[in-house]
A and B are shown apart, each in its own frame.
Chain A
Amino acid sequence: KAGVTQTPRYLIKTRGQQVTLSCSPISGHRSVSWYQQTPGQGLQFLFEYFSETQRNKGNFPGRFSGRQFSNSRSEMNVSTLELGDSALYLCASSRAGQGANIQYFGAGTRLSVL
């Protein structure tokens, strides 16, 4: 069974640009969450989607957005990139709708903003 797949693995952008990251969850998983990992702030929750609906959101500015498609694949978008957006972005999927399910993480997309 394939794991969580994130594409691309690496991205280099410049300030002011926008970027879209993609996440394909494990087959059968309907919940997808996104996290930002930086050396200074650690792992921070961005948002969670279930059945194409955002059901929880972290404390990030509106430049960070996401969506989920009917096949459970998810994308996150960051507009007007800032240097501080450089981070490892991790996607996690889990099986059911109820909380406290095991989350399976992808290898991440490393974004560098120059």
Chain B
Amino acid sequence: GNSVTQMEGPVTLSEEAFLTINCTYTATGYPSLFWYVQYPGEGLQLLLKATKADDKGSNKGFEATYRKETTSFHLEKGSVQVSDSAVYFCALSDPREYGGATNKLIFGTGTLLAVQP
């Protein structure tokens, strides 16, 4: 079945450091891929998405490229800020597995990012 694997946390960085959070997936079809972020006490917010191979999603300085050959969707940011401290979730949606009619998301375990000033 479909699944998502992301690197264990926590990831602790100093402000302005480079960030990479690894995410790989297993899917029988051609999923869409997402990164969501969860701040303390809140629900999930979509950070970026990519719907087909070689697409690059980007938002607020974060980027991720859909790599079909390595089944990966790694999250990167060139210079993190304290305000980026949160839990980051990689997720996939494969509606074709269900005849094209579902928005079901399969999530990775989440990676806690802590940015120190």
Instruction: Closest B residue to A44 by CB, please name it.
Output: B107
A98 beta carbon closer than 8 Å to chain B: yes
Beyond A100-B32, A100-B93, A105-B45, is A50–B109 a contact (Cβ under 8 Å)?
Answer: no
Check B43 against A103 for contact (C-beta < 8 Å). no
Interface residue from A42, A56, A92, A103 paired with B110 (Cβ < 8 Å)? A42
* Chain A residues with a Cβ under 8 A of chain B: 4, 6, 31, 33, 35, 42-43, 45, 48, 50, 55-56, 58, 90, 92, 94, 97-108
B105 beta carbon closer than 8 Å to chain A: yes
Bound CA–CA A56/B94 (angstroms): 12
Check A105 against B43 for contact (C-beta < 8 Å). yes
Check A102 against B46 for contact (C-beta < 8 Å). yes
Bound CA–CA A58/B102 (angstroms): 12
* Chain B residues with a Cβ under 8 A of chain A: 31-32, 36, 41-46, 49, 51, 89, 93-96, 98, 100-110
Interface residue from A43, A48, A108 paired with B103 (Cβ < 8 Å)? A48
Q: List 18 A-B residue pairs with CB atoms under 8 Å apart, sorted by A's residue number.
A: A4-B43, A6-B43, A42-B107, A45-B106, A48-B102, A48-B104, A56-B102, A90-B43, A90-B44, A92-B44, A94-B103, A99-B95, A103-B103, A103-B105, A105-B36, A105-B44, A107-B42, A107-B43
Bound CA–CA A43/B107 (angstroms): 6
A37 to chain B, nearest CB (A): 9
